[in-house]
């Protein structure tokens, strides 16, 4: 138990987003499912609101709460790998660095995120887009079971040998149903990839964006690829393209086309291990202030690309970025989960990132205005993993679609009828 007067309190309440500065009444660091049940009992007895902390990476800062109780899983980080069965069992507080380090020791992977400090559970429950999305689907598509402690203290099993409907809800429905103390994932063989970063500046950025779009539009099933647009200190546009190719043959023609674009200033593509690929992006934890707004789109027409280049220039200062995540390939094949964005081609996110508190209003306004500019091309609600705390319930509903949202509300009514777990992109119980 960590209270405000205890040493380490400020470190324990720190989360990824420095814009979030909350002071819980108590932080309970758990080791077992029984500890989590005890935490729920204590919160109920003391009439404390509850937040749950896994990796603490959600930009909305849902993992900390003013005056309430935080169920902190950060000491529950063990990952066991059954290489023969190709199954990994991860405790609820593990990060992707913990997970990938354990599975790569056996030459295996499951598709996770792109930042090692992200929590395994949180990313999974919001969907999970990363370096292996085209090849193996979203993270949640590879979730095959879970052990969950519900707010009444019960320990339930989600999966084929438990509650299949709960497993469906965990595949995209967020942290609405309980606290996952163990998650089980399907694994895939993979040791080395062709990956890294291609960096473009200046006038080459718009053409590189178009080549990137055309590359993933061909739907290669052995190539995942994301891109990040920003401006440098000279206010020139910058584009970072991050391919991850897992094919057995030579490099795809599309990558050669990307490398031929004028304005390429850094060619960091190489053959390396998957752990090295997971370090292509390494944002600091807890240093930057963040406000993100995303849109799912079915295509990236030239008009939208031009608009986004213009919006990046409108920010007028670094840092800050627009992230392009491709959803082609394997995500289109899966169907058994609450995810509502499978027919989208890209997830585009205006990611306002800054240090100076005096610039809060300016950066937040830029993210909102950039999101509004994407509205003519947007297809659905937001991505739960990137949503801020100020998103309206209509946008949460739209993230699933009406039918799935009502199904999730029924599931919520079974496992959390009092809405104890409401520090999330909340699904109110029926």
What tens digit of pLDDT does each residue of 177-215 get? Answer: 999 999 999 999 998 999 999 999 999 999 999 999 999
When pLDDT is cut at 50, 70 and 90, the band that residue 129 belongs to is very high
List pLDDT tens digits, range 12-62. 999 999 999 999 999 999 999 999 999 999 999 999 999 999 999 999 999
- Predicted pLDDT at 122: 97
Cβ–Cβ < 8 Å for 329, 133: yes
How many whole angstroms separate alpha carbon 144 and alpha carbon 136? 14
Paired sense of beta strands 179-186 and 192-195, if any: unpaired
Domain boundaries, the chain: 9-72, 79-190, 192-386
Beta bridge partners of 79: 90
At the second CATH level, the architecture of 192-386 is 3-Layer(aba) Sandwich (3.40)
- Predicted pLDDT at 244: 96
Paired sense of beta strands 237-245 and 264-267, if any: unpaired
Cβ–Cβ < 8 Å for 239, 229: yes
Q: What six digits make up the tokens of 397?
A: 């509903």
List pLDDT tens digits, range 102-123. 999 999 999 999 999 999 999 9
Torsion of CA 78, 92, 1, 154, to 10 degrees: -120
How many whole angstroms separate alpha carbon 242 and alpha carbon 225? 6
pLDDT at 316 > cutoff 90 = no
Cβ–Cβ < 8 Å for 69, 39: yes
- Predicted pLDDT at 248: 85
How many whole angstroms separate alpha carbon 399 and alpha carbon 380? 6
Average pLDDT over residues 292-301: 95
pLDDT at 380 > cutoff 80 = no
The single-letter DSSP state of residue 357 is G
pLDDT at 255 > cutoff 80 = yes
Task: Give rounded-to-5 percent helix, strand, coil for the chain.
Answer: 30, 25, 45
Lowest mean pLDDT among 138-147, 165-174, 217-226, 418-427: 217-226
Average pLDDT over residues 274-296: 95
pLDDT at 301 > cutoff 80 = yes
How many whole angstroms separate alpha carbon 110 and alpha carbon 94? 14
Query: What are the b/e assignments for 193-220, b being 16+ CB within 10 Å?
Result: bbbbbbbbbeebbbbbbebbbebbeeeb
List pLDDT tens digits, range 332-357. 887 789 998 988 999 999 999 999 99
DSSP letters for 113-162: -S-TTSBHHHHHHT----TTHHHH--GGGGEEEEEEE-TTS-EEEEETTS
When pLDDT is cut at 50, 70 and 90, the band that residue 88 belongs to is very high
Task: Measure Cα distances from 266 to 158, 226, 269, 415 in Å.
Answer: 46, 16, 9, 51
Q: What six digits make up the tokens of 71?
A: 């169920």
Pick from 82, 81, 114, 125: which is nearest to 276 by CA?
A: 114
Lowest mean pLDDT among 248-262, 369-383, 389-403: 248-262
pLDDT at 250 > cutoff 80 = no
377: left (phi over 0), alpha (psi -120 to 50) or beta: alpha
- Predicted pLDDT at 218: 87
Q: What is the mean pLDDT of the chain?
A: 95
When pLDDT is cut at 50, 70 and 90, the band that residue 219 belongs to is confident
Beta bridge partners of 296: 347
Q: Does domain 79-190 have CATH number 3.30.465.10?
A: yes
Whole-prediction pTM: 0.96
Q: Does domain 9-72 have CATH number 3.40.50.620?
A: no
- Predicted pLDDT at 426: 96
Residues 6+ apart with CB under 8 A from 382: 293, 294, 295, 391, 395, 396, 398, 399
Residue 146 half-sphere exposure toward CB, CA atoms < 13 A = 29
When pLDDT is cut at 50, 70 and 90, the band that residue 251 belongs to is confident
């Amino acid at each position: 138990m960590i209270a405000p007067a205890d040493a380490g309190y400020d470190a324990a309440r720190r989360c990824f987003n420095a814009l979030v500065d909350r002071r819980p009444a108590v932080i309970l660091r758990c080791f077992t499912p029984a500890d989590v049940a005890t935490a729920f009992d204590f919160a109920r007895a003391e009439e404390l609101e509850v937040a749950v902390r896994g990796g603490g990476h959600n930009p909305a800062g849902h993992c900390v709460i003013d005056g309430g109780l935080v169920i902190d899983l950060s000491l529950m980080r063990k990952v066991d790998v059954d290489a023969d069965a190709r199954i990994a069992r991860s405790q609820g507080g593990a990060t992707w660095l913990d997970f990938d380090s354990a599975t790569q020791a056996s030459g295996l992977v499951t598709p996770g995120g792109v930042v090692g400090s992200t929590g395994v559970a949180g990313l999974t429950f919001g969907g999970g887009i990363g370096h292996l999305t085209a090849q193996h689907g979203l993270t949640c598509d590879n979730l095959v079971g879970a052990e969950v402690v519900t707010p009444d203290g019960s320990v339930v099993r989600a999966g084929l040998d438990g509650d299949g409907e709960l497993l469906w809800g965990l595949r995209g429905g967020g942290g609405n149903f309980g606290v996952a103390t163990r998650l089980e994932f399907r694994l895939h063989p993979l040791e080395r990839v062709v990956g890294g970063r291609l960096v473009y500046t200046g006038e080459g950025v718009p053409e590189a964006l178009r080549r990137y779009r055309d590359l993933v539009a061909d739907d290669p099933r052995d190539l995942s690829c994301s891109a990040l647009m920003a401006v440098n200190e000279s206010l020139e546009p910058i584009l970072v393209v991050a391919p991850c190719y897992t094919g057995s043959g030579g490099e795809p023609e599309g990558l050669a086309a990307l490398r031929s674009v004028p304005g390429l200033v850094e060619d960091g593509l190489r053959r390396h291990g998957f752990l090295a690929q997971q370090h292509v992006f390494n944002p600091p934890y807890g240093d930057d202030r963040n406000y993100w707004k995303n849109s799912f789109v079915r295509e990236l027409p030239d008009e939208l690309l031009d608009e986004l280049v213009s919006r990046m220039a409108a920010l007028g200062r670094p840092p800050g970025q627009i992230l392009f995540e491709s959803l082609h390939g394997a995500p289109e094949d899966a169907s058994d989960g609450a995810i509502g964005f499978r027919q989208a081609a890209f997830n585009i996110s205006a990611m306002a990132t800054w240090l100076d508190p005096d610039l809060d209003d300016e950066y937040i306004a830029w993210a909102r205005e950039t999101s509004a500019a994407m509205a003519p091309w947007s297809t659905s609600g937001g991505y739960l993993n990137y949503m801020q705390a100020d998103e309206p319930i209509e946008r949460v509903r739209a993230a699933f679609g009406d039918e799935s949202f009502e199904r999730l509300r029924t599931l919520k009514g079974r496992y959390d009828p009092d809405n104890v777990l409401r520090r999330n992109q909340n699904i109110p119980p029926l």
